[in-house]
């Protein structure tokens, strides 16, 4: 049997949803699978051993200018084992209504975003919540708005949560990233 990319992407998501529905415990963020913004399968295991900052992003939000700071963080630290991971969401104020192509074009044109962007997700608890945010929510925090941030350590554990008003330039966030990068 030959599998097409869309079929593999659907299978990947189905497998993750089925495992979560069956009560499987995901012990690491890096055990999850998803899709890239443009629909290709993405295994978050590719980030195991790195520190990541997971952010629910939106194109039409008062916090959207944070893309600039997120991109700077990503470019400055990617060679040191760090990555920003963007997950578009239309959960708050319908501020991310665009198609994947529109989101990608906006991010590239407006902020020259090079950090990985993934498929649009539902962050809010409920039947349609993304497995990504089901895992992140197990930390005791779910986004109250766009541009909430989760700092993930090298093993895939959530080590900190930052609400929308904590900017990428925040000394508190920067210190936490550097501490996580220095950890064994």
Residues known to be catalytic? 61
What are residue 35's phi and psi, to 5 degrees?
Answer: -125, 150
User: What CA–CA distance (Å, rounded) separates 1 from 140?
Assistant: 42
Task: Name the DSSP letter for residue 2.
Answer: P
179's enclosing H/E stretch is helix 171-182
Neighbours of 46 (CB within 10 A): 11
34 φ/ψ angles, rounded to the nearest 5 degrees:
-155, -160
Distance of CA 53 to the CA centre of its chain: 7
Please return the burial class of 48, using the count of CB atoms within 10 Å of its CB with bins 0-12, 13-18 and 19+.
middle
Residue 173's nearest CA partner among 117, 71, 165, 79 is: 165
């Amino acid at each position: 049997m030959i599998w097409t990319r869309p079929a593999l992407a659907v299978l990947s998501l189905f497998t993750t949803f089925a495992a979560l529905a069956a009560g499987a415990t995901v012990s690491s963020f890096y055990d999850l699978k998803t899709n890239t913004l443009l629909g290709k399968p993405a295994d978050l295991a590719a980030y195991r051993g790195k520190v990541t900052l997971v952010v629910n992003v939106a194109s039409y939000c008062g916090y959207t200018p944070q893309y600039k700071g997120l991109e700077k963080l990503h470019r400055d630290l990617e060679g040191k084992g760090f990555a920003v991971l963007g997950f578009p969401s239309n959960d708050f104020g319908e501020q991310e209504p665009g198609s994947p192509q529109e989101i990608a074009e906006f991010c590239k044109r407006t902020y020259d975003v090079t950090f990985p962007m993934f498929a649009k997700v539902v962050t809010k608890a409920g039947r349609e919540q993304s497995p990504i945010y089901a895992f992140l929510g197990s930390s005791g925090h779910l986004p109250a708005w766009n541009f909430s941030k989760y700092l993930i350590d090298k093993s895939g554990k959530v080590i900190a949560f930052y609400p929308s008003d904590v900017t990428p330039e925040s000394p508190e966030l920067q210190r936490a990233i550097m501490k996580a990068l220095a950890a064994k």
